[in-house]
Amino acid sequence: MTIARKDLALAIDNQDLRLHYQPIVCPRSSRVLGVEALVRWQHPSEGLVAPDHFIGVAEALDLIVPLGNWVLRQACVDARQWPDLRVAVNVSPLQIRQGDFSATVAAILAETGFDAHRLELEITEATALDNDATSHDAIASLRRIGIRFALDDFGTGYSGLMTLRRFPFDKIKIDRAFMDMSDGEGGDATVILDFIIRLGTALGLTVTAEGVEARDQQDRLVEAGCDELQGFLFAMPMSATDLGLFLAGARTIGTA
């Protein structure tokens, strides 16, 4: 699919973007602890388009800032319905490099009345390795108002350990590639997974595993002491309305 700048710009202005939310759960009880907001594009002819098709384009065409701001504002508005949940939002390195990123986030929180302590920003190693002082200052000032930072796709970069030393993260999210490897091939992947979980725990970080699809993966992660799980085994990403129904169902099951 080829994307013209004007179409994506129009989609951002016209409210043709949608947010889906995927639950993040407690490993043992499966209780929902929070959700990750994941953007989609409701395209007039292509249907619902996945973010991998347009986030890179938005970055290349200078549209990631308006797109990212829309995502953050919408997530804060939607999440007022779920006062017990934390909300994770993905942030592009290009957003953080803007001089006014922390002011923009603070303004969106004020405008939507959303509590900074419930917001978590997911960044990739590319942002963390960014030597740009602007990014570091923005992250430091956002942490001061209570926003948490998660290192996304942990284990896929080339210097994961160094990143952890340099940067004040609250959480690591283990990339789903490690779930695939541990699924069947045994041995090494399990050792690596155990190591990452122990490392994160020793550093005082919350450790989340992504892409959990099978019960045996859950069992292994529970045994290894992982703090939070996310994946199709528990729930697919879904609309805010469906999440409301999902949570109502989970509460009924939980209290029955």
209 pairs with which residues across the strands?
174, 229
CB 139 to Ca ion: min, Å: 16
Binding residues for ligand C2E, per CB under 6 A? 22, 38-39, 50-52, 55, 68, 71, 90-92, 122, 152-153, 176, 210-213, 231-232, 237
Minimal CB distance residue for ligand C2E: 231
Question: Residue 16 binds which entry of Ca ion, ligand C2E, none, with Cβ cut-offs from 5 to 8 Å by kind?
Answer: none
- Look at residues 95, 81, 79 and name the one whose alpha carbon lies nearest to residue 36: 79
* Interacting residue with Ca ion among 78, 152, 227, 228 (CB under 5 A): 152
Contacts for 244-250: CB closer than 8 Å, 24+ residues apart: 244/81, 244/82, 246/23, 246/32, 247/32, 247/82, 250/30, 250/31, 250/32
| Comparison of 52 and 165: residue with beta carbon closer to Ca ion | 52
CB 256 to ligand C2E: min, Å: 26
Gap between the Cα atoms of 137 and 32, Å rounded: 32
Segment interacting with Ca ion (CB under 5 A) among 54-62, 177-185, 207-215, 226-234? 207-215
Q: Contact at 8 Å (CB) between 219 and 183?
A: no
CB 44 to Ca ion: min, Å: 27
The CA-based angle 140-144-150, given to 5 degrees, is 65
Interface with Ca ion (CB under 5 A): 90, 122, 152-153, 210
